Structure 1
Amino acid sequence: MQASRLKAAVALAAAAALAVGASGCAKSERDEDSGGAKTGGTFVFAGAGNPKNFDPIFNDDGESFRPIRQMYDTLVQNKPGTADLQGALAESWEHDPEGKVWTFHLRKNVKFHDGTPFNAAAVCFNFDRWFNMKGAAAQSQMIYYSDVFGGFAKNEAEGVGEPVYNKCEAKDDGTAVVTMNRYKGAFPGAFALTALSIASPEALKKYDADTVKQNGDSFEYSAFANEHPVGTGPFTFGGWDKAKGEITLNRNPDYWGEKAKVDKLVIKIIEDENTRKQELRAGTVQGIDFPAPADRKALAGEGFQVLDRPAFNILYLGFNQKNPKLKDLRVRQAIAYALNRQALVQTKGPGGTKVADEFMPDTVLGYAQDVQKYDYNVDKAKQLLKEAGAENLTLNFYYPTDVSRPYMPNPQEIFTVLANDLQAVGIKVNGVARPWNGGYKDDVQQFGKQDLHILGWTGDYNDPGNFVGTFFGRAKVEFGDQAMTEMFDAITKADATVDEAGKKTAWEQVNRDIAAKWLPAVPIWHAPPAIVVTKDVKGLVASPLTDERFNTVSVG
């Protein structure tokens, strides 16, 4: 039932469970489970930024998904340490020969945190909720839904298309049948997306989950999203103290799967990278994510566990073609030639980082070995700018603050290097720094204020549509590329190709054309992100998808 495209190469991510830990854990009575691991206590993990909220469908970033995936389950999930699929709320599944009808055989005796039963009706409630979501503000925040399912029962937001989803039927309590209007290569992998986690229907209704309000450049979410998230996961919501910057989750004693070994999980928001390191060394937190490349060796030498995940990601420089100068392919190519990406890799990339020539790793189906490459060439860049009449170009270059992403460990340093490269070929750069949530992502993805931006992606499942299709499969505000219908159509056709050989050929051609004909962005690098924990914590399994679950973690 798993997609044959789930490459063995990604299974390199199968890392041994980290033996890691913390001197600063809360005091409690401790016992050992049947496997000898300590139970009880508190695991404190440092987050780099605040979540948007805790409603899975309205999120698309790692800082939000980290607590969400501890509280919710999906129908299908990634096997720990790999991009392979295994059952979760669905024990098994199958589809018809056309890939349109998906039948899920659900796990029995599972309850939501509010005590209500998980069943096929609950599954269908969630699918129908997403499909029937009302309001442009709400729809605009459902990034993953739009990428996977295309559109809504009534499209109200910009940039959404024809819906893939048709209906969901509860055949009985244990069988949910989801019917699509057409085949899409995202399935079954997309059913493992954290954004498509299954929430309690009763809680969604009780706390007005569908209420999303836009106030200028920001969005407000419901009581469900901020105060009462209810899933089926190994941890329950204990509170979000925004003043202290702490999210508290409690052990769910009734969890259907492997029960959490710690009593509490605290995600402590520490925006400054140096402060995160200091607190790790002081023992006030037991884990940090995405350490700067220069810190990895030092932390390992101090006895911390530093585990690299395989680089299943991409960093790119995006063009907003609302700027008339950037609509000229020659200008975009000039910028590509101006970037000394190899020097950036060597000076700012984690060990093992590689220059990217395409927008997905070479382990993904459809990677083309013969795409046009843009090696560093100052003279070529200047020549193209002259031909395009863009020798006096000024661009607003947006980059995020208060965040460290797997593909982008230090945004400000990356921006500085790229900006210097651009200025070296005569392009004036106005740098605009904005906070990750409540600033940068809205400015870039919702309002398109920038000319250039840096952003990226860690793959959610092993399919080209999850990379190339997510970025360029339809018109997006952040790229201002509404006229690139040829690109959208080619990606749609490739994604709808059921035959494996035909799909491979179609995606390879898409990648060639993206590089040579369309160039909506410049791929920068693939970087292996690391996760660091103290030596006394055991059971943390690092994921190439940064999809770590903390129920396996013990402390002490």
Structure 2
Amino acid sequence: MPASPTHRRRKLSGPFLRALAGAAVLGLTACTAATPVPTTTTAPATSAEPAAPVGDTTTATFTFGTAATPTGLDPALVADTESYRITRQMLEGLVGIDPLTSEPAPLLATSWEERDEGRAYAFDLRQDVVFHDGEPFNAAAVCANFERWYTMPPETRVLDATIAFKSVFKAFSDEPEESVYDSCQPLGEHTVLIRLTGRLTSFIPALALPAFGMASPKALDELNANQLTVERNGRQLSEFALSPVGTGPFTFTRWSADEVTLSAFEGYWGTAGEIQTVTFRTIPNTAARLRALLSEEIDGYDLVTVDNAAELAREGQQILQRDPYSVLYLGMNQDFPGVDDVLFRQAVAHAIDKDALIEGRFLAGTSPANQFIPPKLGVTNEEITDYEYDPELARELLDEAGYSGEPLPFHYPRNVSRPYLSSPEKVYAELSRQLTAAGFNLQPVPTEWADGYVETVQNDDNRAFHLLGWSGSYQDPDNFVGALFGSYSEEFAFRDNQLFSKIARAVTLPNGEERVAAYQEISESIAVDIPAVPLAFPISAAVVSPRVLSYPVSPVMHEVFNSIDLADVEQPVP
């Protein structure tokens, strides 16, 4: 949908910035005197350098520092924030996200209609859209994409349960009796009917996932999208994943070792915006990202940490808060000896002081979590089984479970920041202190994020614990509990068919009291089983330089850069 003034960022208030900077100061060493912090980070609307002449496109560039290299640029086959951040610029879905409410909004579909009591949806498509390769966007293209996702070969589905199609629709074509997706049928050049095997209340919100971005069918075929024949950064990718073709405001230019560059698409159907070139530069170290911003090498970066928030505020940079929409958790592998005992897992839960874990390690506004669904979704269980911090009780439960000090491998990532975990080494250190004090014998297993950390903790059996989290991408409870606990996964080795059935039923219920009650019951079941311990609902924040007048900050990170306004680029005349 065209960019509008509602896409512009919401500036932070003075009180929030004071709290944010205060949290950063608390995170510094005790011997460091606190420096007074300004009450606002709103920067002047002019650049520190003279504006370039009109027509000089060097100012119409935007360089963004990312915390990790994308795993691939085919959104159907990835699930990481940094990949999605880039693919959002190039591939658009039928449904977008309202920048103010995060509710579903028209994008490549101008409207939709529910049919057959929620078992089918008819979409009216935009008629003025072409893919970056010149191919028309139409009903046939929509069906080509849905059929590609549904019939994806097993050898291509390397992420398995974390692939969005599996998470939303439950199964692929090799298990048709389990899949919620049925078929896609053109009803005309620009009208399409998608049939489901049953009601799926999350269907429309889920279509806003970057994974459901529409790709050119011609490019999918010519670039062998389902054949993982190319190795990049230790991962098998397709040719399409190295040069995707969508309908978005930016087209792919190149992907070097640590940079992905995009260019404005001249044939874009919506508001093109003023930026001609976007570069995503990988800078894993948070301090290095800060230095790059202050030296004007980059225009912004994401995942501001407590350690650098105060300095950013002092330097007049703009810190942009997102509403919390992710959850950090301590995962447990029930295939590891002893972890399958619920008394052992209860001991883990009682051994963790979540308030102490959060203090000084997360931005102000981060709250402890006792369930996996964020409060924003309105289905919080206020009477959930909770595990108060009680290390003595934890020791008693460990004894009762028969634990006698065997080493417990604990995996945690290094040199990365995530929306739910901006400083993993510090969080691990505090968790290690707390668990060791309660009698656990931890064996630290630090792993570089870029070396396949996620794949390791979701598949390697030689682990008892791991640190990970989940960032929501659309507004529905199933995006959290369905993705994490809707079926068996190697990450938790957790088997509870009754819970799996509850989650499968809840997603079919119409919005209302019954659905709210169903998700509250699901949260209680997870709390009793404890496949993982929810730790926090973290606040995440991006930062942009004074050069940036507006940035489309979004709790679900639906941040498309044609909505950015720059101070040193002449605005078009209406």
TM-score, normalised with respect to structure 2: 0.88
- Indicate conservation of the 8 Å contact 1:25/1:42, yes or no: no
Match of 2:10 in 1: 15
Q: Is 1:145–2:169 an aligned residue pair? A: no
In structure 2, list runs of 5 or more residues that go unmatched: 1-5, 13-41, 569-574
Q: Secondary structure at the match of 1:397?
A: strand
Q: Is 1:136–2:155 an aligned residue pair? A: yes
Match of 1:8 in 2: none
Match of 1:292 in 2: 305
Alignment of 1:501-540 (within 5 A): 501-516=513-528, 518-540=529-551
Instruction: Output the CA distance in 2 between the equivalents of 1:250 and 1:337.
Output: 51
- Indicate conservation of the 8 Å contact 1:73/1:231, yes or no: yes
The Cα offsets for residues 396-452 of structure 1, whole Å up to 9 and x where unpaired, read as 111112321111111111111111111111211111122224410111124444321
CA change 1:533–1:25 in 2 (3 A) is farther
Q: Is 1:257–2:273 an aligned residue pair? A: no
Q: Secondary structure at the match of 1:188?
A: helix
Match of 1:183 in 2: 199
Q: Is 1:212–2:223 an aligned residue pair? A: no
1:471, distance to aligned residue in structure 2 (A): 0.7
Instruction: Output the CA distance in 2 between the equivalents of 1:261 and 1:47.
Output: 22
Instruction: Output the CA distance in 2 between the equivalents of 1:540 and 1:195.
Output: 23
Instruction: Output the CA distance in 1 between the equivalents of 2:404 and 2:8.
Output: 46
- Indicate conservation of the 8 Å contact 1:39/1:262, yes or no: no
CA change 1:251–1:213 in 2 (3 A) is closer
Instruction: Output the CA distance in 1 between the equivalents of 2:91 and 2:240.
Output: 13
In structure 1, list runs of 5 or more residues that go unmatched: 1-10, 33-37
CA change 1:322–1:470 in 2 (3 A) is same
1:349, distance to aligned residue in structure 2 (A): 1.5
Of the structure 1 ranges 454-463 and 469-478, higher mean CA displacement relative to structure 2 is found in 454-463
1:399 to 403, 412, 432: 412
- Indicate conservation of the 8 Å contact 2:8/2:551, yes or no: no
- Indicate conservation of the 8 Å contact 1:44/1:286, yes or no: yes
- Indicate conservation of the 8 Å contact 2:72/2:237, yes or no: yes
CA change 1:214–1:44 in 2 (3 A) is closer
- Indicate conservation of the 8 Å contact 2:43/2:317, yes or no: no
CA change 1:14–1:190 in 2 (3 A) is farther
Of the structure 1 ranges 15-24 and 41-50, higher mean CA displacement relative to structure 2 is found in 15-24
Instruction: Output the CA distance in 2 between the equivalents of 1:256 and 1:128.
Output: 25
CA change 1:20–1:87 in 2 (3 A) is farther
CA change 1:14–1:538 in 2 (3 A) is closer
1:30 to 40, 54, 62: 54
Instruction: Output the CA distance in 1 between the equivalents of 2:48 and 2:124.
Output: 43
- Indicate conservation of the 8 Å contact 2:373/2:379, yes or no: no
CA change 1:388–1:446 in 2 (3 A) is closer
- Indicate conservation of the 8 Å contact 1:365/1:464, yes or no: no
- Indicate conservation of the 8 Å contact 1:25/1:44, yes or no: no
Alignment of 1:78-97 (within 5 A): 78-96=97-115
Amino acid at match of 1:500: G
The Cα offsets for residues 283-317 of structure 1, whole Å up to 9 and x where unpaired, read as 00010101111322321121000011111111111
Match of 2:246 in 1: 231
CA change 1:140–1:267 in 2 (3 A) is closer
2:213 to 185, 197, 214: 197
Match of 1:154 in 2: 174
Instruction: Output the CA distance in 1 between the equivalents of 2:271 and 2:458.
Output: 38
1:489, distance to aligned residue in structure 2 (A): 1.5
Match of 1:279 in 2: 292
Instruction: Output the CA distance in 1 between the equivalents of 2:239 and 2:501.
Output: 40
Instruction: Output the CA distance in 1 between the equivalents of 2:177 and 2:499.
Output: 15
Q: Secondary structure at the match of 1:43?
A: strand
- Indicate conservation of the 8 Å contact 2:287/2:308, yes or no: no
Amino acid at match of 1:497: L
- Indicate conservation of the 8 Å contact 2:331/2:466, yes or no: yes
Q: How many residues are aligned here?
A: 531
- Indicate conservation of the 8 Å contact 2:9/2:551, yes or no: no
Match of 2:503 in 1: 491
Q: Once superposed, which parts of structure 1, at least 4 consecutive aligned residues long, lie more than 6 Å away?
A: 11-14, 17-28
Amino acid at match of 2:145: N
CA change 1:25–1:134 in 2 (3 A) is farther
CA change 1:554–1:499 in 2 (3 A) is closer
Alignment of 1:115-514 (within 5 A): 115-138=134-157, 140-141=159-160, 143-154=163-174, 162-212=178-228, 219-226=235-242, 228-242=243-257, 245-481=258-494, 483-498=495-510, 500-514=512-526
CA change 1:30–1:268 in 2 (3 A) is farther
Match of 2:22 in 1: none
CA change 1:25–1:423 in 2 (3 A) is farther
The Cα offsets for residues 65-106 of structure 1, whole Å up to 9 and x where unpaired, read as 111000111110111243122100001111125211011100
Amino acid at match of 1:117: P
Instruction: Output the CA distance in 2 between the equivalents of 1:14 and 1:538.
Output: 9
Q: Secondary structure at the match of 2:179?
A: coil
Q: Secondary structure at the match of 1:65?
A: helix
CA change 1:435–1:98 in 2 (3 A) is farther
Amino acid at match of 2:199: Y
Q: CA RMSD in A?
A: 2.6
Q: Is 1:552–2:552 an aligned residue pair? A: no
Instruction: Output the CA distance in 2 between the equivalents of 1:199 and 1:274.
Output: 37
TM-score, normalised with respect to structure 1: 0.90
CA change 1:181–1:462 in 2 (3 A) is same
Q: Is 1:60–2:79 an aligned residue pair? A: yes
- Indicate conservation of the 8 Å contact 1:20/1:533, yes or no: no
1:479, distance to aligned residue in structure 2 (A): 0.5
Quick one: percent identity of the two aligned structures?
A: 34
Amino acid at match of 1:153: S
Amino acid at match of 1:514: I
